[in-house]
Amino acid sequence: MTERPVVIVWRAADADHLPGVEAAGAIADVRFAPDAPTLRSALGDADAVFFFHGAKPDLEEAWPLATRLRWIQSASDGVDGLLFPALVQSDVEVTNARGVFDDAIAEWVIGAMLAMVTGLDRSIVSQTEHRWDDDRGNERLAGKRFIAVGPGPIGRATARRARDLGMAVAAVGRAPRPDDLFERIGGPADLHAMLVEADVVLDALPLSPGTHHFFDADAFAAMKPTARFLNVGRGATVDEAALVDALERGALGGAALDVFEEEPLAAASPLWTLPTVIVSPHICGDFDGWERAVVEVFLDNLGRFVRGDTLRNRVDIEAGFGIG
């Protein structure tokens, strides 16, 4: 590339909340778009967009103006909040923040599992009520069976930690295959048979046409009544009504949820008050310093973009998830 590319940072008014992004100015013309009108006025000149806190409808509406655009960097691992039909049908390359959030999310999952088996979640509630709740014992994670549905980087990071705690680990992916971490990776057709054996089920799925309501009433019916379900993927991969029904009937041992079909979670949702549920407001990956880590991925890819090199963390925009 002989001339400096124009890069739109969408949505940000300046560099104040993007640690290190000013370094992009050394090789690109960086323009900040804090709102939809600014995006529309700038998009016609843009070669690239850093989709930091953008809103998909605004970008979709302005899309006909993007005549020069060749690359979009997402600040998220999941890209369902970015992709729309015209983008999917284009030749614009999309990259994500794959690898940034894996360890933080894995630590959240381990923390949630430990809270549930030790009763720490109940102890916190009892403390707020000034109630001495000593009529229960603790379980162990050691010896339990952990199933990651979605054996990508997040599923693998969690499984490694679960195995270190003495759990048996297996996974369900797009197709059966051998693996050096998981005892077994089954395909979608193996889901229900593998859920029967699981003590803990992790949903680490991206949201794509093939994963909408992947966990439905039949999936929850296949699980043990003592099994725990954790979701750090996307809320719409779960039929939330079916999950609530299973929990209310005691057909499922509990759930820890960081994502929901509609966010923020409605105040009237039964999930807030079910005693076996942990509700987290879609922050399990938001560790201290995540913004700088995402900017570093963007800067690395910007250098590659300018040099004409292969970009890191490419996304299969038709499938709706990262490649590799």
What angle in degrees, to the nearest 10, is found between the helix axes of 102-118 and 153-164? 40
Active-site amino acid positions: 234, 263, 282
Do residues 256 and 121 lie in contact, with contact meaning Cβ atoms separated by under 8 Å?
no
CA distance 48 to 27: 13
Is the omega angle on the peptide bond into residue 264 within 30 degrees of 0, that is, cis? yes
Element of type H or E holding 267: none
Which amino acid type is present at position 93? E
- Tell me the two tokens of residue 251: 């057909």
Taking only Cα atoms into account, the Rg of the chain, rounded to an integer number of angstroms, comes to 21
Distance CA 205, CA 70 (A): 27
DSSP 206: P
Q: How far apart are CA 181 and CA 170, in angstroms?
A: 8
Chain centroid, CA 127 distance in Å: 32
Identity of the amino acid at 306: V
Calpha distance 171→151 (Å, rounded)? 6
**Distance between CA 167 and CA 277 in Å, rounded?**
22
Say if residues 292 and 20 touch (Cβ distance below 8 Å): yes
